[in-house]
Amino acid sequence: MTDTSKDLPEASERRLEEIEHGLFTSDLSVNEFLLVKEAGYHPLGLVMGSSIYHTGIQTRKWGESQELTKLTEAMYNARELAMTRMEEEASELGADGVVGVRLDVNYYEWGKDAAEFIAVGTAVKAEDGVSRRNTLGKPFTSDLSGQDFWTLLRTGYLPQGLVMGTCVYHIAHRGLGQTLATTGQNVELPNFTQALYEARELAMTRMQDEASQLGAAGVVGARLEEKTHQWGSHTIEFLALGTAVTRTTEEITLTSPVTIISLDH
């Protein structure tokens, strides 16, 4: 359908052709499936992108807090590759967007320093035939569940894209002198505090930059994950993820929600 498919492995194209014959696949639950249908979208197929990536080595200074740019770059690149491949699969299906995107990292025994980055989601298409692609003309991506997607559309917003920011940061060890000086005291450890602050800020800012590139009005469902992967305790990846959204032009009247007290435990 589009020429972007050149990058896709041959095997996946065959699978996608089959989907075009009318069968859809989706890892959406029944609730989500029905809500997506109710919102006026039809699921087209499960789309995936993955990349096995070897991360390089960067020396860290024992007593210095710093961003490890090479590792940050690796995390960015690998995720971008996975995400782009997923988007390409979605374009191939003629989708307007991808909902319920999950980003995962797998480690294999045989791949030392290598990790598999995966993006999986369900490609959807608007049933009224009006394109809902984002400002860049690509299918939108979103990590919102079917329920959240339905609610978001109800409130007059459209997802634009899954945005992320990452920062791999090395946090300085404390010197022996420092440790001894604070033994037995209540005291803030400013170097740790500062390092964590800076790393988080970097990740969040990068995510917001991605969102403004998409011309988004905001980012919903943003969350911050901290992972050490396989780098030992003082090197942490801060990953900020969220869905960038824009307002639709349609006039929306919000229905007031019904309050319930559930009797479950």
Partner 1 sequence: MSTPPPPAHHSAPDDLRAAVREALASPATTATHASRSGLTSDLTIDETLILHSVEWVPRDLVIGLSVQSVPSAIWSWGSGEIELASRAHARAFEHAIARLHAEAVAVGAHGVVGVHVERRILASHIEVELIGTAVAPADASAAGGTKVFISDLPARDFALLLMAGWRPVALAVGASFTYAPRRAVGAALRQQTQNVELTNYTAALYTARSTAMERMQRAALDAHGTGIVDVTITEGPLHFAAHAIGFTAWGTVVAPAASSRTIDPLTVVSLDDAVSSFDVAPLA
Sheet holding 218-227, edge to edge: 66-67, 157-170, 235-247, 218-227
Q: Would you say 117 or 140 has its CB closer to partner 1?
A: 117
Give phi and psi for 112, each to the nearest 5.
-70, 135
CB of 44 to partner 1, least distance (A): 9
User: What is the number of other CB atoms lying within 10 angstroms of the CB of residue 52?
Assistant: 15
Smallest separation, CB 11 to partner 1 (Å) = 4
Q: Which is nearer to partner 1, 4 or 12 (CB)?
A: 12
Instruction: Choose between 145 and 160: whose C-beta lies nearer to partner 1.
Output: 145
Task: Output 64 or 226, the one with its CB closest to partner 1.
Answer: 226
CB of 31 to partner 1, least distance (A): 7
Cβ at position 107, least distance to partner 1 in Å: 8
Rank residues 91 and 160 by Cβ distance to partner 1 and give the closer one.
91
Handedness of CA 30, 36, 37, 39 (dihedral sign): positive
What whole-number distance in Å separates Cα of residue 43 and Cα of residue 24? 7
Residue number, 120 or 164, with CB nearest to partner 1: 120
Cβ-based neighbours of 248, under 8 Å, separated by 6 or more = 156, 157, 158
Which uninterrupted H or E stretch holds 30?
helix 30-38
Nearer to partner 1, 164 or 244 (CB): 164
Q: How many CB atoms lie within 10 A of CB 167?
A: 25
For residue 238, give every residue at least 6 positions away whose Cβ sits within 8 Å of its Cβ, in sequence order, or none. 166, 167, 168, 169, 199, 200, 202, 203, 224, 225, 226
Indicate the SS3 state at residue 205.
Answer: helix
Query: Could you list the residues that contact partner 1 (CB under 8 A)?
Result: 9, 11-12, 14-15, 18-19, 21-31, 33-35, 37-38, 43, 46, 48, 50-57, 70, 73-74, 77-78, 81, 106, 108-111, 113-114, 116, 118, 120, 150-151, 154, 171, 192, 226, 228, 233-234, 236, 255, 257-262, 264
Q: How far is the CB of 227 from partner 1 (least distance, A)?
A: 8
Q: Name the minimum Å distance from CB 21 to partner 1.
A: 8
- The rounded distance, in Å, linking the Cα atoms of 141 and 124 is 10
Assign 52 to helix, strand or coil.
strand
**Nearer CB in complex with partner 1: 23/130:** 23
| Cβ at position 53, least distance to partner 1 in Å | 5
Closest of 93, 151, 155, 154 to residue 121, by C-alpha = 93
Residue 245 Cβ, how far from partner 1 at the closest point, in Å?
18
